[in-house]
């Protein structure tokens, strides 16, 4: 049976105009019950509604609260440091190859935690422009507000992952791949095989047998919002296996694709997130050199049991 996330069901937009559409609470609850998820249905039934239609302002506030809690998990998992570990070698190799300007675009950025952290530390260098996109305007508004408040050099726009505007030297994402069905992933990756794009780096939950239990413990301990706790576990249950991700990423056929795995045996709870990496062939040697010993973690065949 399909695993559904509540956050994917409580906001709907017209695909043509982007206008927000009414979401009927009873319909969402029925969909979740049909998928065998009584608990999720009850969470949705507690979201305020007017004449049976979910209150958009209440939904937005709820999603911002959930993403604020998600930011704390990202902090604990050191996600900004993990991105920097691979981004710095990629950008070093791109500079070496004379690529300019350098722009990093975070797809499905939510509140922009990763980009805001990279901007705050300045770890990627002054010459790198940082841009976040998400299809949810409420999250983009909050990301922009936070970046202004924190006086950070990064920008946020509303955009869909499958219709990305502008250009990027490197595309990244964090916790987004599992929101897309396996058969949509090839077009997600293909869309990033653009002239000028040198690499992509997409972290998501590693689809290990322990992932749902780990996600349950982690979200139970650290998150208060029932929606966030629910979706955190659902995301681990619906995470794509390594083979699915590598095969989909290969549809960006101008890129060489890898997983980036911990070099040593890692505590499975700490190895909860791992990335799919795409590199222009001309960049691979430079990135390996810049990664040093950690280049051994750049693999084309997953070490763990394949799913
Ligand atoms: C689990 S959240 C991760 C948010 C953020 N990357 C983080 O690490 O906190 C998934 C995000 O993907 C966004 N998203 C889902 N589908 C999308 C799409 N088709 N285009 C753009 N953003 C999308 C959601 O709005 C949400 O912010």
Res 269 pLDDT > 80: no
- What are the C-alpha distances in Å from 53 to residues 14, 88, 227? 16, 46, 18
pLDDT interval class at 266 (50, 70, 90) = low
Question: How far is 277 from 117, CA to CA, in rounded Å?
Answer: 21
Q: How many residues does the chain have?
A: 307
DSSP state of 306: P
Q: Which of 96, 110, 98, 51 is nearest to 231 (CA)?
A: 110
Output Rg (C-alpha) for the chain, integer angstroms. 19
Domains of the chain: 12-54 (no CATH), 63-299 (3.40.50.150)
**CA-angle at 152, arms to 147 and 156, nearest 5°:** 50
The chain-wide mean pLDDT, for the chain, equals 94
Query: Measured from the CB, is residue 85 less than 6 Å from ligand 1?
Result: no
At 112-163, the pLDDT tens digits run 999 999 999 999 999 999 999 999 999 999 999 999 999 999 999 999 999 9
Q: Measured from the CB, is residue 176 less than 6 Å from ligand 1?
A: yes
Residue of the nearest CA to atom 11 in ligand 1? 108
Task: Please return the burial class of 221, using the count of CB atoms within 10 Å of its CB with bins 0-12, 13-18 and 19+.
Answer: exposed
Residue 227: which pLDDT band, with cuts at 50, 70 and 90? Answer: very high
Split at pLDDT 50, 70, 90, the class of 306 is: very low
Residue 265 has pLDDT above 60, yes or no: no
pLDDT band at 261 (very low <50, low <70, confident <90, very high): confident
- Split at pLDDT 50, 70, 90, the class of 268 is low
- Quote the ligand 1 centre to 110 CA distance (angstroms): 5
The CA 289 to ligand 1 mean position distance, Å, reads: 32
pLDDT for the residue 307: 44
Please tell me the predicted confidence (pLDDT) of residue 18: 86
pLDDT value, residue 264: 62
Pocket test for ligand 1, best of 67, 110, 227, 235 (most atoms within 8 A of CB): 110
Question: How far does the centroid of ligand 1 lie from the alpha carbon of residue 166, in Å?
Answer: 19
User: Which contacts of 208-215 are long-range, i.e. CB under 8 A and separated by 24 or more positions?
Assistant: 208/268, 208/271, 208/304, 210/268, 210/269, 211/236, 211/237, 211/239, 211/272, 212/236, 212/237, 214/268, 214/269, 214/272, 215/272
pTM above 0.85, yes or no: yes
Q: Which atom of ligand 1 is nearest to the CA of 67?
A: 9
């Amino acid at each position: 049976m399909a695993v559904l996330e509540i956050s994917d069901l409580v906001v709907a937009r017209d695909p043509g105009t982007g206008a927000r559409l009414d979401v009927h609470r009873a319909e969402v609850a029925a969909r979740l019950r049909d998928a065998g998820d009584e608990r999720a249905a009850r969470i949705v039934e507690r979201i305020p509604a007017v004449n049976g239609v979910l209150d958009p302002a209440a939904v937005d506030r709820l999603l911002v609260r959930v993403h604020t809690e998600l930011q704390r998990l990202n902090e604990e998992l050191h996600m900004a440091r993990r991105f920097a570990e691979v981004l710095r070698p990629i950008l070093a190799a791109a500079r070496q190859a004379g690529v300019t300007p350098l722009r990093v675009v975070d797809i499905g950025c939510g509140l922009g935690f990763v980009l805001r952290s990279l901007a705050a530390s300045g770890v990627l260098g002054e010459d790198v422009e940082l841009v976040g996109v998400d299809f949810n305007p409420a999250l983009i508004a909050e990301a922009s507000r936070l970046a202004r408040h924190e006086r950070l050099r990064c920008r946020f726009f509303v955009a869909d992952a499958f219709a990305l505007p502008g250009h990027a030297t490197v595309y990244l994402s964090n916790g987004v791949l599992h929101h897309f069905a396996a058969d949509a992933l090839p077009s997600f990756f293909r869309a990033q095989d653009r002239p000028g794009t040198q690499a992509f780096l997409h972290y998501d939950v590693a689809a290990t047998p322990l992932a749902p239990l780990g996600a349950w413990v982690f979200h139970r301990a650290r998150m208060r919002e029932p929606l966030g706790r629910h979706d955190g576990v659902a995301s681990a249950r619906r995470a794509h296996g390594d083979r699915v991700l590598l095969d989909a990423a290969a549809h960006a056929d101008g890129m060489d694709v890898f997983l980036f795995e911990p070099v040593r045996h890692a505590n499975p709870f700490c190895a909860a997130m791992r990335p799919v990496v795409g590199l222009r062939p001309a960049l691979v040697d430079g990135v390996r050199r810049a990664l040093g010993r950690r280049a051994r973690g750049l693999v084309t065949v997953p070490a763990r049991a394949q799913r």
